[in-house]
Amino acid sequence: MKIAVLSGGRTPERDVSLRSGHRVKVALDELGHDAWVVDPGECALVETLTETGPDLCYLALHGKEGEDGTVQRLLDLLGVPYTGTAAFDCEVAFDKVLAKDALSRAAVRTPEWVTIEGWALRDLGAGAALGTAAERVGLPCVVKPSRSGSALGVGFVEREADLAAAVMAALSFSGAVVIERKIVGTEIAVGLIGSPMDPLPCVEIVPKGGVFDYAARYTAGATDYYAPARLADEITAACIAVARDAADALGLRDVTRVDMIVDADGLPWVLEVNVSPGMTETSLLPMAGHAVGMSLANMCDRIVRSETSRRD
Amino acid sequence: MAEFSIDRFVDLYAQRTSGMSASEVRALFAVASRPEVVSLAGGMPYVDAIPQEDVLDAVRQVLGTHGMASLQYGGGQGYAGLRDRLLDLMLAEGVAADAEDVVVTTGAQQALDLVGKIFVNPGDLIAVEAPAYVGALTAFSAYEPRYLQIDLDDDGMMVDQLEEALLRGERPKFVYTCPNFGNPAGVTLSYARREQLVSLCRDASIPIIEDNPYGMLRFEGDPLPCLRTLDPENVIYLGTVSKVFSPGVRVGWALAEQSVVQRLVLAKEAADLCGSSFTMMLTERYFAGDRWRRNLATLVDTYRTRRDTMLEAINEHFPDGAMWTVPAGGFYVWVTLPGWFDTQAMLAAAVERRVAYVPGTAFYPDGRGKDQMRLAFCYPTEERIREGIQRLGSLLEDEEQLYRSLHP
């Protein structure tokens, strides 16, 4: 098959995406496909795809545009099939304000949260309600931009006095923020792959500095990982079940990674889902695959077959 | 059960690399380098002002005169012809020197690294101006020093603070300063303070590292004597052709007394054996004759106009409460905003609006500078500078509104 691997783009996660894309291209070549990398940050995407006429686009873009449904809508318009979740579901999944609501409606456990919109602060005096927000959610809390990846712009707040600054910082990345109760526990990532989606082993994330922020994600040695996670069997099963529920609630397909925290009582709480999980040599999903002897080529094969199975 | 590591050598790395970590700011700069973003961040010299023919001519001369020797290894101290030629550049700033006391380095950046290598043991105290050139801090930090930070004002380093520290019994291994239109603050050390600094350090036998990349880029006023001129024995002088010719040739140098030169040469040979023969010879040819002076005049005119444009635009678009330096040369304007601003957190919003700057925190070893930013006027055209400052001004206004709404 002729496969254009879309990676790069114009987001702060550009470099990570380029690394994912390169690895995916090599894996697809290994599988006998004719694969090449297309970087929408460097070329006119529509023109390039029209000229080269791929049978399929493999989406290895991270962050806004690549994960929020923008590129997916464009590919729908061009009639080019692509891997991963459909445009509308991407839009919901990528936006934490919408995703948390959708999860909650589907009774998927996610930490209590409130949403603050930038324009409500500017025009409606929402700042006066910040104290109420802190009360509702409780401290410590986590402040997240609604639409951003790789923990960019995420702030951890211990004292109410620091909340406003964290909200401002998160608004730098996005028009709205989610203030979320901080669940203390074990960070777990669950990958789901294929059609129907099969779970990969849970990966346990132990950031040495205590928080899995941008630096902890991308600095070698800043975080320890265990795959499979050191969890009791019934808790592992609960994590996988909640990951499946989250994926169903949000209409995710082909591949996803569900990030969660298991609290002291063994209950998993879904933090967020990723429609285009990282595929670099140090990313969580390949790590999980490795734990069961699944190579990156195996994973890419599952993802591509999952897409083509929709055509039959 | 298996434990995975992002990096299988992670337990093997030296302690000195522990400060080297991924950061949001670095990730954002990946976007900031895109053409649609007006970058007021990087200090890229405007090399387009150098006529290509002048460079081609120098290349032809190198190959014609030196032939294949230009592709060969050279001595660790650097091509002797270039060291002679560099004396002309230093003399243009009033620094008299002997070519034997010059070590050519891979940009002045390597000289900073070598200075750290030969002087600093882990835990040693070194004095730096605050804010200081981020590249000097990263070069020194690899040798695990403690920092004594000396604040700057409009007259440069506040030498009284250094004096007080010495009276308290602090003994820094050296004092690092960039006295002419320094990076990042753009301020110039006054004559009185130059004398004060030189005499204080001489009496205390503390060497001064004088970093002078911008001295020849003076837009107005009379040049002040270099620290090296005031005290040739106690000052290690660092120069570079990056700002007056090309950063791509990677030619800088250190001028010091013989005992220091010998150690620098050994350290340099350990690092990379020798500099690039070809670019050293090319640089020597470029600075032969007078064309470099003409080209330099063009560069100075260009940078002056760009500085004026930036200052005018800042004046027009920045909110009340913002303060900025007015550099008499160099590349940078240093902006201080009301204390509640967080320029690091704001950078993502700036990039989203297609403008970039360097957050102030980069220039302090202790995380200060949250409310400050460095703006470079060297590379973008006047039109782009105006556009960038306007975008930044409107962002600052919006941030202020947001802040007020969060603190009703």
Q: What's the full length of chain A, in residues?
A: 312
Cβ pair A226, A206 in contact under 8 A: yes
Model confidence at A155, pLDDT cuts 50, 70, 90, reads: very high
Q: Which of A122, A219, A227 sits opposite B22 (nearest CB)?
A: A219
A213 is catalytic: no
pLDDT (0 to 100) of residue A121: 87
Q: Worst-scoring range by mean pLDDT, A84-88, B38-42, B81-85, B97-101?
A: B38-42
Placement of tokens 């503390």 in the chain: B206
Cβ pair A108, A245 in contact under 8 A: yes
Q: CA-CA distance, A22 to A25, in Å (whole number)?
A: 5
Nearest CA in chain A to B34: A10
Using an 8 Å CB-CB cutoff, list chain A residues near B4.
Answer: 203, 225-227, 287, 290-291
Q: Worst-scoring range by mean pLDDT, A126-130, B137-141, B150-154, B316-320?
A: A126-130
Cβ pair B362, B369 in contact under 8 A: yes
Between B18 and A76, residue with greater pLDDT: A76
Give per-residue pLDDT as tens, A2-33. Answer: 999 999 998 888 989 999 999 999 999 999 99
Q: What is the mean pLDDT of residues B10-39?
A: 80
Using an 8 Å CB-CB cutoff, list chain A residues near B11.
Answer: 221
A82 is catalytic: no
Q: Which residues contact B266 (CB under 8 A, 6 or more apart)?
A: B76
pLDDT (0 to 100) of residue B28: 81
pLDDT (0 to 100) of residue B9: 75
Q: What is the mean pLDDT of residues A243-252?
A: 98
Q: Find how far residue B99's CA is from the centre of its chain.
A: 24
Cβ pair A312, A50 in contact under 8 A: no
Q: What is the mean pLDDT of residues A207-234?
A: 88
Nearest CA in chain B to A283: B6
- Percent of chain A residues topping a pLDDT of 90: 82
pLDDT at B362 over 80: yes
Between A152 and B148, residue with greater pLDDT: B148
Nearest CA in chain B to A175: B349
pLDDT (0 to 100) of residue A297: 96
**Would you call B335 helix, strand, or coil by DSSP?**
strand
Q: CA-CA distance, A193 to B218, in Å (whole number)?
A: 62
Q: Which amino acid is at B254?
A: A
Cβ pair B128, B363 in contact under 8 A: no
Give per-residue pLDDT as tens, B219-278. Answer: 999 999 999 999 999 999 999 999 999 999 999 999 999 999 999 999 999 999 999 999
DSSP element (H, E) containing B189:
none
Q: CA-CA distance, A213 to A151, in Å (whole number)?
A: 5
Looking at the complex, does the CB of residue B31 fall below 8 Å from at least one CB of chain A? yes
Using an 8 Å CB-CB cutoff, list chain B residues near A122.
Answer: 398, 401-402, 405
A47 is catalytic: no
Longest dimension (CA), chain A: 60
- Record: contact B31-A172, CB cut-off 8 A: no
- Record: contact B34-A41, CB cut-off 8 A: yes
Question: What single DSSP character describes residue B361?
Answer: G
Cβ pair A178, A198 in contact under 8 A: no
**Would you call A219 helix, strand, or coil by DSSP?**
coil
Q: Say what the pTM is.
A: 0.91
Which of B1, B3, B5, B6 best probes binding to A when mutated, by most A CB atoms within 10 angstroms?
B6
Q: Provide the strand spans (E) within A81-210.
A: 113-117, 141-145, 155-157, 176-181, 185-194, 198-199, 203-207
pLDDT at A116 over 50: yes
**Would you call A173 helix, strand, or coil by DSSP?**
coil
pLDDT at B51 over 50: yes
Choosing from A257, A276, A301, A306, the catalytic residue is: A257
Q: Which residues contact A265 (CB under 8 A, 6 or more apart)?
A: none
Between A222 and B374, residue with greater pLDDT: B374
User: What is the phi/psi pair of residue A301, to 5°?
Assistant: -60, -45
pLDDT (0 to 100) of residue A127: 83
- Record: contact A215-B21, CB cut-off 8 A: yes
Q: What is the mean pLDDT of residues B165-193?
A: 97
Choosing from A17, A20, A274, A283, the catalytic residue is: A274
Q: What is the mean pLDDT of residues A294-309?
A: 96
- Record: contact B406-A167, CB cut-off 8 A: yes
Q: What is the mean pLDDT of residues A215-226?
A: 85
pLDDT (0 to 100) of residue B7: 66
Looking at the complex, does the CB of residue B139 fall below 8 Å from at least one CB of chain A? no
Report the sign of the C-alpha dihedral through residues B180, B185, B190, B193, in that order. Answer: negative
Q: Provide the strand spans (E) within chain A.
A: 2-6, 34-38, 56-59, 113-117, 141-145, 155-157, 176-181, 185-194, 198-199, 203-207, 223-226, 254-263, 268-274
pLDDT at A312 over 90: no
Give per-residue pLDDT as tens, B79-122. Answer: 999 999 999 999 999 999 999 999 999 999 999 999 999 999 99
Model confidence at B30, pLDDT cuts 50, 70, 90, reads: confident
- Record: contact B7-A282, CB cut-off 8 A: yes
Q: CA-CA distance, A195 to A62, in Å (whole number)?
A: 22
Indicate whether this complex's ipTM tops 0.90: no
Q: Which of A150, A169, A287 sits opposite B342 (nearest CB)?
A: A169
A204 is catalytic: no
| Conformation bin of residue B120: beta by default, left when phi > 0, alpha when psi is -120 to 50 | beta
Q: CA-CA distance, A135 to B81, in Å (whole number)?
A: 73
Q: Report the relative pairing of strands A2-6 and A56-59 from DSSP bridges.
A: parallel
Task: For residue A157, list its beta bridge partners.
Answer: A141
Q: CA-CA distance, B256 to B100, in Å (whole number)?
A: 9
A42 is catalytic: no
- Record: contact A127-B21, CB cut-off 8 A: no
Q: What distance in Å separates residue A145's CA from the closest CA in chain B?
A: 11
Choosing from A259, A301, A306, A307, the catalytic residue is: A259
Using an 8 Å CB-CB cutoff, list chain B residues near A221.
Answer: 5-7, 10-11, 13
Q: What distance in Å separates residue B46's CA from the closest CA in chain A?
A: 24
Nearest residue to A153 (alpha-carbon basis) of A175, A172, A133, A180: A172
**Would you call B23 helix, strand, or coil by DSSP?**
coil
Looking at the complex, does the CB of residue B14 fall below 8 Å from at least one CB of chain A? no
Q: What distance in Å separates residue B57's CA from the closest CA in chain A?
A: 35
Structure tokens belonging to residue B141: 């930090």
pLDDT at B23 over 80: no
Structure tokens belonging to residue B216: 């020849």
My answer on whether omega of the bond before A140 falls inside 30° of 0, hence cis, is yes
pLDDT at B1 over 60: no
pLDDT (0 to 100) of residue A230: 95
Which of A14, A124, A168 best probes binding to B when mutated, by most B CB atoms within 10 angstroms?
A168
Cβ pair B157, B28 in contact under 8 A: no
A298 is catalytic: no
Q: What is the 3-state secondary structure (H, E, C) of B140-165?
A: HHCCCCEEEEEEEECCEECHHHHHHH
pLDDT (0 to 100) of residue B22: 73
Give per-residue pLDDT as tens, B289-344. Answer: 899 999 999 999 999 999 999 999 999 999 999 999 999 999 999 999 999 999 99
Q: What distance in Å separates residue A107's CA from the closest CA in chain B?
A: 32
Average pLDDT taken over every residue of chain B? 94
Placement of tokens 């060297």 in the chain: B378
Q: Provide the strand spans (E) within B53-145.
A: 102-106, 125-130
Cβ pair A185, A263 in contact under 8 A: yes
